[in-house]
Structure 1
Amino acid sequence: MDALQRHLRMPVGLTAPAMAILLVVFGIPLLQLLLTSLNAPFLSLANYQAFFKQQGNVFVLYQTIKMGVVATVICLIIGYPTAYLIVMASKPVRIALTVLVFIPWLTSGLVRTYAWTVILGDHGLINNLLLDLGLISHPLPLLYNRLAVYIGMVHIMLPIMILPLLSVMQGIDKSLLAAARSMGARPFAAFWRVFVSLSLPGVRSGMLLVFVVCLGFYITPQALGELPDAMLSNFIASQIASSLNLAPIAAAAFILLAIALVLLSIFGLDVSGTQDRTKRSLLRSRVSRPSAVGALWRQLNELAMSYLAKRWAAQLYLTAGDSRLPPIGGSIFVLLVMTFLLFPGLVVIIMSFSAGAFLQFPPPGFSLQWYHAFFGDPSWTGAFWNSIQIGVAVTILSTVIGTLAAYGLSRCSAWLRSFLTMLLLAPIIVPVIVVGVAAYLGLINHGLIGSKLGIVLAHSISAIAYAVVIVTATLATFDRRLEQAAKSMRAGPVRTFLRVTLPLIRPGIIAGAVFAFFASFDEVVVTSFVSGFSIRTLPLKMWENINQQIDPTIAAVGALLTLLPILWLVALYVTWWRSRLKLHGAPVNPIA
Structure 2
Amino acid sequence: VSVVATATCLILAYPTAYLIVAASTRVRMVLIVLVFIPYLTSLLARTYAWVVILGDRGLINALLIESGLITSPLPLIYNRMAVYIGMVHIMLPLMILPLISVMQRIDRSLTAAACSMGARPFAAFWRVFVPLTLPGVRSGGVLVFVLCLGFYITPQALGGLRDAMLSTFIADQVASALNVGAIAASAFILLSIAIAVVSMFGLDIAGKHAFAGQRNSRSRPPLVIGTATRYLSESFIGYRSRLWKAKLYRARGESRWRNATGVLFVALIMFYLLFPSLVVIIMSFGAGSVLEFPPSSLSLRWYRSFFDDLSWSGTAWNSVQIGVVVAILSTIAGTLAACGLSRSSPQVRSSLTMAILAPITFPVIIVGVATYLGLAKVGLIGTKTGLILAHSIGSIAFVTVIVSAALVNIDRRLEQAAMSMRAGPLRTFTRVTLPLIRPAILGGAVFAFIHSFDEVVLSSLVGGSIRTLPLRMWESMRNEMDPTIAAVTSLLMVLPVLWLTALYVTWWKSRPKAQSELPDLRA
Under a length normalisation based on structure 1, what TM-score does the superposition of the two structures give? 0.84
1:467 aligns with 2:413: no
Asked if 1 retains the 8 angstrom alpha-carbon contact of 2:382 and 2:462, the reply is yes
Equivalent residue number for residue 457 of structure 1: 389
- Structure 1 residues 498-509: aligned runs within 5 Å: 498-509=430-441
Equivalent residue number for residue 520 of structure 1: 452
Amino acid in the other structure paired with 1:389? Q
Q: Separation in 1 of the partners of 2:406 and 2:232?
A: 50
Asked if 2 retains the 8 angstrom alpha-carbon contact of 1:123 and 1:361, the reply is no
Equivalent residue number for residue 168 of structure 1: 102
In the alignment, which of 19, 26, 40 is matched to residue 92 of structure 1? Answer: 26
1:538 aligns with 2:469: yes
Asked if 1 retains the 8 angstrom alpha-carbon contact of 2:335 and 2:399, the reply is yes
Equivalent residue number for residue 590 of structure 1: none
Equivalent residue number for residue 408 of structure 2: 476
Equivalent residue number for residue 108 of structure 1: 42
In the alignment, which of 159, 162, 170 is matched to residue 228 of structure 1? Answer: 162
In the alignment, which of 328, 343, 366 is matched to residue 396 of structure 1? Answer: 328
1:80 aligns with 2:14: yes
Asked if 2 retains the 8 angstrom alpha-carbon contact of 1:437 and 1:529, the reply is yes
In the alignment, which of 240, 252, 266 is matched to residue 200 of structure 2? Answer: 266
Q: Separation in 2 of the partners of 1:210 and 1:553?
A: 31
Equivalent residue number for residue 218 of structure 1: 152
Q: Separation in 2 of the partners of 1:517 and 1:320?
A: 50
Equivalent residue number for residue 557 of structure 1: 488
Judge which range, 497-506 or 121-130, deviates more. Answer: 121-130
In the alignment, which of 342, 349, 370 is matched to residue 438 of structure 1? Answer: 370
- Structure 1 residues 330-345: aligned runs within 5 Å: 330-345=262-277
1:570 aligns with 2:501: yes
Judge which range, 166-175 or 129-138, deviates more. Answer: 129-138
Amino acid in the other structure paired with 2:422? R
Q: Separation in 2 of the partners of 1:358 and 1:281?
A: 62
Equivalent residue number for residue 49 of structure 1: none
Deviation at 1:364, TM superposition (A): 2.4
Asked if 1 retains the 8 angstrom alpha-carbon contact of 2:204 and 2:210, the reply is no
Under a length normalisation based on structure 2, what TM-score does the superposition of the two structures give? 0.95
Q: Structure 1 200/297 Cα, relative in aligned 2: closer, same or farther at 3 Å?
A: farther
Q: Separation in 2 of the partners of 1:260 and 1:464?
A: 21
Amino acid in the other structure paired with 2:177? S
Q: Structure 1 135/514 Cα, relative in aligned 2: closer, same or farther at 3 Å?
A: same
Q: Separation in 2 of the partners of 1:285 and 1:112?
A: 44
For residues 267-315 of structure 1, give each alpha carbon's deviation from its aligned partner in whole angstroms, at most 9, with x where no partner exists.
115554x3x53453445457x7468365555434322322221222112
1:142 aligns with 2:142: no
Equivalent residue number for residue 190 of structure 1: 124
Matched pairs, number: 515
Amino acid in the other structure paired with 1:503? P
Equivalent residue number for residue 29 of structure 1: none
For residues 8-34 of structure 1, give each alpha carbon's deviation from its aligned partner in whole angstroms, at most 9, with x where no partner exists.
xxxxxxxxxxxxxxxxxxxxxxxxxxx
Q: Separation in 2 of the partners of 1:465 and 1:508?
A: 13
In the alignment, which of 439, 443, 447 is matched to residue 511 of structure 1? Answer: 443
Q: Separation in 2 of the partners of 1:202 and 1:304?
A: 37
Amino acid in the other structure paired with 1:483? E
Amino acid in the other structure paired with 1:577? W
Identity of aligned residues (%): 66
- Structure 1 residues 275-294: aligned runs within 5 Å: 276-278=208-210, 280-285=212-217, 289=220, 292=223
Asked if 2 retains the 8 angstrom alpha-carbon contact of 1:184 and 1:311, the reply is no
Listed as ranges, the gaps of 5+ residues in structure 2 are 517-523
Q: Separation in 2 of the partners of 1:485 and 1:437?
A: 48
Asked if 1 retains the 8 angstrom alpha-carbon contact of 2:6 and 2:144, the reply is yes
For residues 299-350 of structure 1, give each alpha carbon's deviation from its aligned partner in whole angstroms, at most 9, with x where no partner exists.
3432232222122211222345642011110000000000100111111111
Equivalent residue number for residue 520 of structure 2: none
Deviation at 1:579, TM superposition (A): 2.6
Listed as ranges, the gaps of 5+ residues in structure 1 are 1-66, 586-592
Q: Separation in 2 of the partners of 1:457 and 1:361?
A: 41
Asked if 2 retains the 8 angstrom alpha-carbon contact of 1:168 and 1:271, the reply is no
Amino acid in the other structure paired with 2:179? N
Asked if 2 retains the 8 angstrom alpha-carbon contact of 1:152 and 1:224, the reply is yes
Amino acid in the other structure paired with 1:517? F
Q: Please state whether the residue corresponding to 1:277 is helix, strand or coil.
A: coil
Q: Please state whether the residue corresponding to 2:255 is helix, strand or coil.
A: coil
Asked if 1 retains the 8 angstrom alpha-carbon contact of 2:45 and 2:493, the reply is yes
Judge which range, 462-471 or 356-365, deviates more. Answer: 356-365
Asked if 2 retains the 8 angstrom alpha-carbon contact of 1:123 and 1:360, the reply is no
1:579 aligns with 2:510: yes
Q: Structure 1 262/279 Cα, relative in aligned 2: closer, same or farther at 3 Å?
A: closer
For residues 117-153 of structure 1, give each alpha carbon's deviation from its aligned partner in whole angstroms, at most 9, with x where no partner exists.
1111122211122223222222211111111111000
Amino acid in the other structure paired with 2:442? I
Q: Separation in 2 of the partners of 1:279 and 1:315?
A: 32
- Structure 1 residues 237-386: aligned runs within 5 Å: 237-268=171-202, 270-272=204-206, 274=207, 276-278=208-210, 280-285=212-217, 289=220, 292=223, 295-320=227-252, 322-386=254-318
- Structure 1 residues 417-428: aligned runs within 5 Å: 417-428=349-360
Q: Separation in 1 of the partners of 2:79 and 2:288?
A: 26
Amino acid in the other structure paired with 1:338? M
Equivalent residue number for residue 39 of structure 1: none
Amino acid in the other structure paired with 1:205? S
Q: Structure 1 483/541 Cα, relative in aligned 2: closer, same or farther at 3 Å?
A: same
Q: Separation in 1 of the partners of 2:500 and 2:327?
A: 16
Asked if 1 retains the 8 angstrom alpha-carbon contact of 2:175 and 2:461, the reply is no
Q: Structure 1 319/180 Cα, relative in aligned 2: closer, same or farther at 3 Å?
A: farther
Judge which range, 349-358 or 438-447, deviates more. Answer: 349-358
Amino acid in the other structure paired with 2:484? T
Asked if 2 retains the 8 angstrom alpha-carbon contact of 1:394 and 1:463, the reply is yes
Q: Structure 1 297/452 Cα, relative in aligned 2: closer, same or farther at 3 Å?
A: farther
Q: Separation in 1 of the partners of 2:71 and 2:203?
A: 50
Q: Separation in 1 of the partners of 2:205 and 2:238?
A: 40
Asked if 2 retains the 8 angstrom alpha-carbon contact of 1:387 and 1:521, the reply is yes
For residues 530-555 of structure 1, give each alpha carbon's deviation from its aligned partner in whole angstroms, at most 9, with x where no partner exists.
001x1111001100111110000001
Amino acid in the other structure paired with 1:544? E
Deviation at 1:517, TM superposition (A): 0.8
In the alignment, which of 121, 134, 140 is matched to residue 206 of structure 1? Answer: 140
